[in-house]
Amino acid sequence: MADQLVDAKGLNCPLPILRAKKALKDVAVGGTLQVLATDPGAVKDFEAFCRATGNDLVESKVDGKIFSFVIKRTS
């Protein structure tokens, strides 16, 4: 289980990223954040977001129509 959870289901670009960024501030360095989304564009976007911010995307998976991302805060 991740340390924090953001439910961004039903939200469209760029809201899942904005909600994740906001929540990531409250995650301790080394901690993890799970984001749930239904926006298929979020897959590429979370990869890009993590590359640009230097955080680790430790998990990206899809279950039916729900995408799940786990981000590890690195700094």
Partner 1 sequence: MNKDSNTKSMSMIVTKGTLDWAYPPFILATTAAAMGLDVTMFFTFYGLTLLKKKLNLKVSPLGNAAMEMPMFGMHLGMPNLVSAIPGVDAAATVMMKSLIKKKGVASIEELRTAAVESDVKMIACQMTMDLFEYRLDEMIEGPVVGGAATYIENATKCDINLFI
Give residues in contact with partner 1 (CB under 8 A).
10-15, 17-18, 20-21, 39, 48-49, 52-53
Query: 4, 28 in Cβ contact below 8 A?
Result: no
What does the alpha-carbon distance between residue 75 and residue 60 come to, in Å, rounded to a whole number? Answer: 20
| Catalytic residue from among 13, 58, 62, 66 | 13
CB closer to partner 1, 12 vs 58: 12
Q: Which helix (H) or strand (E) holds 50?
A: helix 42-53
Task: Give me the least distance between CB of 12 and partner 1, in Å please.
Answer: 4
CB closer to partner 1, 28 vs 52: 52
Contacts of 53 (CB under 8 A, 6+ apart): none
**Residues classed as catalytic:** 13
